[in-house]
Structures are given as structure tokens and as C-alpha cells.
Structure 1
Amino acid sequence: MFANLVRCLTRLPGQLLGRNPFRGDCLPSRVKLIHFGSGRGTFPFPHPWNYDRPIEILESYFWNSENETGGGQHNRFLDVPGFAPILVTRDPQIIRAITTETGDKPGQFDRDTLPSTGIARATGNDTLLYSNGAIWKSQRKLAASPFGKTTLFQPEMFHEFAETFRHTVLKRLEVLRQHLLSSGEKSVRIPLEPEIKAVMLEMLTNSFFGTTLSYDEIRNCYVPGLERVIEHIVGDTVKNKLGIPVWKLPSLTRGMAQTKRDFACFEALTDHVLAARNEGKGLWKQFKSDVPNEALRSNLKVFLAGALEATTSYASWAVAHLARHPAAQEKVWEEVKSLEDYSPEHLDAAKYLGRVLDETLRLTPSLYFLPRQATVDTWVDTADGRKMFIPQGTHVLLDVWHANRHEDHWGTAVAGYPAVDFAPERWEHLAAAGRASKDVLHFGFGHGPRVCPGKHLGQLEVALVVGALLKMFRLRSPVAEYRVKAGVSTKPLDGTLVDLELR
């Protein structure tokens, strides 16, 4: 605490004089806290009236950036006297350098916990998501075995996923198919996001963890409860300045009473998952630790909510894009129409489906920014030979959303197609140009030591759901343009509304 106070006082004169605390040959430029008459959409910080528009907050840092040259075009900072600087970057090379140098070693970047205080209050401080240093390292080691690609893609393990998949996805799709056949209607209009969430949560709980929850319980109880918990977390991060946990607040309103019921539902779901551990079901048999159940509760809650959010976002965006691009949709259908065995090998052979999924994560990533904090005064070196000095304590927002959409990084000159277009062929163009995969990172699962541990599980689940859906239905979106909502993750604002037509 004393060291932070000394650092704050030392920094104050330079802040009052407007000095740039950063150095190097990709020097960021300053953003004004208040800029009346600029036309900027919102202030460059979250507050109770804009916290539900985080992408616009990130955009505010790059207002009028087209007039910039040098490092300031893609790197901006806010420096308010008395507070640590905030650096926002949409430079992929800077993002890659900082994520690579994230960890528990001296001088590395920590994950900035400031944007996830609401998650910590809802789940716990000792989680893989929230913790830093030695605690993070130990949690990461625990997660490595059950989440690893080698474990997930074992034949006997994959068989469990396939069985759950056929029991859930195909059964739900068959209900829609029978509705169309019996009604004589050519198509049915439906928001698919609720159905995707239910399927994803059933795959997590029943196949991955080995519980035996019914689809009705999942669809009608646990999915709505988790949705409301996640909405509460987003608001709580900004509004709850006193840090009071929800269970300590009085139930003075119907809304608060409902929130408490939702958190109790979340605890009950976690209890079901831990009960499966006691019986050695699912991937629990791959979990190499004798720690007590309660020591795992916080991480399980983060995983259940986080994996549900991320995989639902990923699958929903893939469906939303394909529903607006019939030619791409038909190419995927040609690959999966005769596919009966959804094994990892067969999915890997579906090359165009893989490009669709990569393009989905590039254009509409679930994790739209990655928070980091400089633990010491740090020089960052990029792969293309540039440098940036970042002072100790700086809050760093790695703006993946806007990095992936900028013409400089992903546009026609670089990848053969405009950066804001959904173009799976972009990845074929990059491969033909000899661009190595390490040079064209979309950061859809993060990058470096703190890459998402559920990456392989998410890839597998989304490929299964998208492939099965296209085998049975032709998709059309009722509107040409999509709109975005963002909270813990991003999703289509319309709930992935599509017209389903039988093939």
C-alpha cells in the first residue's frame, strides 16, 4: 500500500503537466477524459450509464484515429492525475508481445483483475480466471490434465461427447424438423441462442462432468438462472463500489430476491458437478488431485458460467454469419452432409468448416478484450522490431475486437478481403501467401500462458453443433446486418434469429 502511494505521488507532477509516461518507437497518444464537442460516443471509462456498451468504450479511445500517424494510430492512453495510466492497444504485435509475457515470473504482466471484480464476488478470488502469481500457477496445473487435447480426444472420452451430442442436438433438431413436416410450413423463424445454450450446458454437465441432469432442468432452470447471474456480474463490477456480496444484501425488492434465487441455483448446479466427482464420472477420472471438493468450487463456478458464455457466443456467431452468407453455408454443408462419425479426425478434415470457425473468432471474438497490468516498469519488444516502455501499474486493455477489424491488420492488402467482411477464404489466402499461423493470430481464445484452458473443448463443441445444424437445415437471417451486444462475452443482439428450412 505504501509503495503504491509513493508511486502515485511520484507520478503526479508529470500527470499534471501532461507528460507522456510511455516511451519507445510505437508511442501511444493521449485520450482526453472529457472531450466536449468531439462527437465521441461515450466517455473512455465505464460508469453506471454506459457499462453495458463496452465496445463503444473501447472505440472511444480510437476516436479520430485516422488522423494519427505512428504508434498513436493503434495505441492510446488515458492518464488521470492520482490514478494509474490506462493503455488501450489494437496493435496485434503489441497484443501478442504482452500476452506472451504474461505469467508469474518477475517482470511479467499480470492479468488485471479490475474488470473482473464482479466475477470474483460471485465465484471467489482463488480462481484460474481472477488470481495471479503462485495461486494462478497452481490452478493452471490442476486444469491442465482434464482440459488437455490429449485427454479430450481419447476415443473413449470422445465417445461420451458424441453420445451426449446425439441425445441433445439431434433430438432438439428433430423436434423442429417434425414441426415443419406436420405444419406444412416451408420454414420456421426461431432465436437459436437459447437452444444453443441448453445444448452447450448439457454437454458440459452431463458429458464433461458426468452428471445426469435432465434437459428440462437445464433448459428451464439452470440456463435462465445462469443468464441472470452473468447479467448481475456485469453490472456489479461497475455499480458495487462497496464490494458487498449479493447474499449479504437484504431482499427488499423482487429483483434482489430473484437474484438470490439465481445464485442458489448456481450453487445447486455446482453441487451436482461435485457429486459426479465423488463417483469418478466423466472427466473427473482424469483429474489428478486429492484436493477437497470445496477447494474446487470457485473454479467450477467460473468454468460453468464462463464456458457456457464463451461457447454459446462462438456457436451463435458462427450460425449468425452462415445464415447471412449462403455460399459459405453450402460449402460447409458439402463437407458435413455425409458425415456420420463426428470424430476429431473427421472434423479436422472439414477444412472449410475450420476456416469458418477461425473467421468467426476473428471477426466476432467472444473475448473481445484481454486485461493486463504491468507489474514493473517494462519494455515490450514486438516481433517486427518495435519497442514500447510501459510504466509500472499501468492498466492494459488489449482490444482484440478492434485489432481484428482494422484494415491495416486484416484488410485487403494483407489478407485479400476487407477486414470487416466475413470471408472464410481469407485464411486460404493467408496460407497461400506463406503467412505462418503464429503471425496471423485472432486471439479468439487469448494467447500465451493465460490462453483459455477450454480452447479444445470449445472448438470441439462448436464444430459439432454447427455441423449437425447444417446437415438438417438451411439457414437464412431475416435481416442482412447483425448488431452486437457485449457483456462478459459478445453475442448477436437478436438472439441469433434465423429462418430454418429443411434440406
Structure 2
Amino acid sequence: MTKFTPVVGGYRTVFQRIARLPKQLFAINPFDGDCLPSRVRLFHPGSGRPSLPFPHRWNFHDPVRILECYFHGADEEQGPGRHNRYLDVPGFDPVLVTRDPGMIRAIATATGDREGQFDRDTMPSIGIARATGKDTLLFANGAEWKKQRKIAACPFGKTTLYQPEQFGEFAETFRTTVQQRIEVLRQHLASSDQDSVEIRLESEVKVVMLEMLTNNFFGAEISYDELCNRYVPALERVIDHIVSDTVRNKLGIPWRKLPGVTKRIAQARQDDAAFDELTQCVLAPRSENKALWKQFKSDAPDAKLLSNLKVFLAGALEATTSYATWAISHLARNPAAQEKVFQEVKDIDVYTPETLASATYIRNVLNETLRLTPSLYFLPRRATADTWVTTADDRKLLIPSGTHILLDVWHANRHEDHWGVAASGYPANEFAPDRWEHLAAAGRATKDILHFGFGHGPRVCPGKHLGELEVSLVVGAFVKTFQFQAETAANPARAGVSTKPADGTQVRMSLR
């Protein structure tokens, strides 16, 4: 059982920060307990590390490599430092990076609004806050976060989404959406006068995901052309700007307040205006109690919802697109798994909660997708007090107040110690949906095989059930209609706000 106990004190004042300097200068480990992390050097020339262990102007576009540098050479170690590392630079708070699933689970579980619990670290989300607002479920902590969480709980909850009437309405509008998009791909294939066509699917998936959220979930009426030609490109540029703004904008000036004297700033302001316009479009059906708005149990005025709506819209474009494109990308490189999915979905014409629950293999595919290639490749946390953390197997770690914590889900899920042959029956770096059948047959409890694909604990992604529903429907419909394969065996990632296949989900596909 996870435990945490605040320790009196902490390094909150300038004086206390100064008091830490001697220990920092002499490289004395600031942590305590029987699970001590090992130290990472700020600069380590000649080591062959892939990057520096902090984001800067020349490496922020490759955050996975920044995380990798914390574990450079770690596999040669034994003991807790193998999976737990820290950086401690004089004058700054420590940084703890862990790829230990037990520690990830313990810290994520001990995150919340109570005294001594961990906050979500806002430092990696500064760019998002400047684009959407700080009063959001994603960015806020404490009482504000708890209030926003309560507002989002009902419309995004599984109980709401899987009510027969609500699910039927969603499935029907979904079927219309996806059938139209698949017909476009079908016509594209027919017009090519070939049996197959090579295409990058990411852009098409983005439009489908945004259309499902705006029209099916919120009840707006936005045309495919508007989404494809106006809103998706604008949101893509906003998201790119969010990533660079987090690192480059040291003064913290929102771009909407800058004069449009350059093409870049002028474009950013236009994109911001399009984002505002899209947000108003999905807010408008609230007054008519359309779609999921009728499940919305809050009397909050419209103005108080704008920031969270922006987060949900950006999340639809990022997280669900990541999830769906990775699943398609993996299946394009695994024809046997693709065929098993096809056999499971080929006769499904009407989607119900029971139908989805019985599709066990596609669920294994999606679990394996989130394990190997999670959209949320790390979870940021920050210690609000000197805090003892106890893992489920009774390992203890004292984390000093102010410590920045990166729960490195990406590398935890890919390490042989945690997900390899001995632990799960298959190599950790392989896409193997049958891994989940092996784990179930071995009697492994769900709580012991967490992939953290939607986070974990009180700050788990509120859109988890909606994302699972959307992606299972999209991937199932795509496999039912097309055969597809990748041109290359390699499947590298690119990462920003979320991860996606580096090739844009490029496949060669043909009609079944």
C-alpha cells in the first residue's frame, strides 16, 4: 500500500535554498531511504550521452532523448540507481527521474490536493497554460484542480458514455462520421486506378478525431472542410507554438499581446483567433442542451469553461490522434495481429458497449499500443513538502520539498526488467498484443501490470473512457475496410506535447 508522510520543514525560503548549497556543491545525495537514486552529471563530456539532461533551445524538439540521457549507462548499475536518477545543480531544486513502475505508481497515487501530497509540476506546461489559461484541469493544483475535476467527472465518466441511449447516439453519429471519411479514402483509392495507394494517415485521423469531439460529443455542426482546412492546421500550429513557447519564452509574454510585426507572430495571432472561434463553436450547443452537454452538471457560466474546452480540443487533436495512429502504425507492421483484429470486427455492424467488451483482441492491441508507445511519455510531479513515499513492495524514499519529478513512463514500459520475457513472456521492445493473454493466464493482477497510458491516480486523464471509445471505434472500422502495411520495419517516434509515429503513419493500403 502506498504511504506518504510530510516531514516538518522543507526548502521553501531563499535562506533554506542557500542552506542546501554546501550539500549540492559536495554532491551529497539530497534523498533518503532504501531506494536512493544515483546522481547524473549536468555536463559529462566524452560519455556519449545523447543530450544534456535539461531542455534548451537546441534539444527541446526531442524530449525522449533528454529522458534517455538520465539513464545513460544505468543498465550497468545494480540496485535502486538502475531505475532512479537525479540531477542536483547548485541554486536549483533537485530533479528526480524514475523509470521504476513501483515508484511511478506510488508517486502518482500520492498526488492530490491534500497537505503533503505531490502537485502536478506546472513547469513543463507553461506553454499550454499561456495558450489555454491557467484555470484548467490540466494545469491547476489544489482547490482549483479539485473543482475542475468535479465539473469534468460526469460528462467524461464511463457511466455517462456507456448509458444505452447515450452510447447509441454517439455510435450513430460516429458511424456517419467514419463512413464519410472512409468513403473519401475509398474514392481516393478508386481514382488512383491502382489496387493500392500509399498515404500518410495522420492528417486524416486528426480531422476524424476533432470531428468526433466537436460534432459527436459536444453537438456542434462544423463541416469537414472547415475542420480540415481551417481548424486542424491552426491547432497544429498552436500546439507547435506551445512546445517552443515553453522553452523559448523566458519573459512569459503571451503571443496574443505581441504586435504582429513578423509573419510568425501574425500567423500565431490568427491561429489563436481560430482556436477561440472553435471553442465558441463547441460551447454554443450548451444553451440547447445538445449531445453530452445535457449530462453536464454545473451552473458555471460559459466564460469559466473556455479554458478547459481549449484543453479538451487540443487533447483531442493530440492524445487521441497519437493513440489511434500508433495502433494503426503497429498493425501495419504486424500482419498477423491485423488479421486477428479483422476476424474480430468483420461482422460487427452495430456497436454497443457489450460488443466492444467482447472484442478482447482489439483491447489487447490497444493496451499494447499504450504500453509500448504511450501518448503521455512522462508524468510531471513536484514535491510540496519533504515527503516519504513507500512503494507496494515496501521500498521507501524521502523526496525533498520542491523536487521536480519526471515519471518516465516511456522508458519504464520499454525496459526488460519490467516488461521483458521473464516478466511478460515477450521482449519489452516488441509490439506483442498476445503479451496481455500471457499475463492474464499467469494470474497477474491488473494493478501489477500498469502501463500508465492515461496517467494514474487522482490525476488520471479525465478523457480516458472517451479516448478508449473513440480509438477502438476508429481502428476497428479502419481494419474492417482496408488491408494496410508499412513500407519500413522501423517505427521511430517523434515527441512534442505527445508522441506520434515519425513517418506520419505512412502506409500502403488496399480495399478488403
Match of 1:398 in 2: 407
Per-residue deviation at 1:307?
A: 2.7
Does 2:461 match 1:434? no
In structure 2, distance between residues paired with 1:337 and 1:479: 27
**1:85-484 paired onto structure 2 within 5 Å:** 85-484=94-493
Letter in 2 for 1:485: R
Letter in 1 for 2:237: R
Letter in 2 for 1:13: P
Contact 1:307 1:454 in 2 (8 A): no
- Which deviates further from its counterpart, 21-30 or 358-367? 21-30
Match of 1:493 in 2: 502
In structure 2, distance between residues paired with 1:176 and 1:273: 27
Contact 1:103 1:110 in 2 (8 A): yes
Per-residue deviation at 1:66?
A: 1.5
- Which deviates further from its counterpart, 388-397 or 252-261? 252-261
3-state SS of 1:277 partner: helix
In structure 2, distance between residues paired with 1:182 and 1:288: 48
Letter in 2 for 1:17: F
In structure 1, distance between residues paired with 2:203 and 2:75: 39
Report the RMSD for the aligned CA atoms in angstroms: 1.2
Contact 1:229 1:263 in 2 (8 A): yes
Note the residue ranges of structure 2 that are not aligned, 5 or more in a row.
1-9
CA shift digits 1:372-422 (9 cap, x unpaired): 001111111011111111111100000000000000000000000000000
Per-residue deviation at 1:282?
A: 1.3
In structure 2, distance between residues paired with 1:258 and 1:184: 39
Match of 2:5 in 1: none
In structure 2, distance between residues paired with 1:119 and 1:182: 41
Match of 2:7 in 1: none
Per-residue deviation at 1:182?
A: 5.0
- Number of aligned positions between the proteins: 503
CA shift digits 1:307-327 (9 cap, x unpaired): 321000000000000000000
3-state SS of 2:119 partner: coil
- Which deviates further from its counterpart, 383-392 or 315-324? 383-392
CA shift digits 1:184-239 (9 cap, x unpaired): 41101111111111011011001110101111111111111101000000000000
Contact 2:323 2:471 in 1 (8 A): yes
Match for 1:71 among 68, 76, 80?
Answer: 80
Letter in 1 for 2:319: A
Per-residue deviation at 1:6?
A: 2.4
Per-residue deviation at 1:183?
A: 4.2
In structure 1, distance between residues paired with 2:342 and 2:11: 62
Per-residue deviation at 1:489?
A: 0.2
In structure 1, distance between residues paired with 2:284 and 2:211: 16
3-state SS of 2:475 partner: helix
In structure 2, distance between residues paired with 1:445 and 1:429: 22
In structure 2, distance between residues paired with 1:358 and 1:437: 12
In structure 2, distance between residues paired with 1:103 and 1:332: 39
3-state SS of 2:180 partner: helix
Contact 2:381 2:406 in 1 (8 A): yes
Letter in 2 for 1:246: W
Contact 2:375 2:453 in 1 (8 A): yes
Note the residue ranges of structure 1 that are not aligned, 5 or more in a row.
none
In structure 1, distance between residues paired with 2:499 and 2:96: 22
Per-residue deviation at 1:181?
A: 3.7
Change (3 A) 1:354 1:135: same
In structure 1, distance between residues paired with 2:265 and 2:192: 42
Letter in 2 for 1:41: P
Match of 2:6 in 1: none
Contact 1:344 1:460 in 2 (8 A): no
In structure 2, distance between residues paired with 1:113 and 1:2: 18
3-state SS of 1:480 partner: coil
3-state SS of 1:365 partner: coil
CA shift digits 1:12-46 (9 cap, x unpaired): 11101110001111110000000011111110000
In structure 2, distance between residues paired with 1:473 and 1:273: 32
Per-residue deviation at 1:7?
A: 2.5
In structure 1, distance between residues paired with 2:396 and 2:192: 64
3-state SS of 1:103 partner: coil
CA shift digits 1:345-374 (9 cap, x unpaired): 101101000000000000000000000001
Letter in 1 for 2:46: G
Match of 1:29 in 2: 38
Letter in 2 for 1:405: R
In structure 2, distance between residues paired with 1:443 and 1:252: 43
Per-residue deviation at 1:179?
A: 3.6
In structure 2, distance between residues paired with 1:3 and 1:168: 52
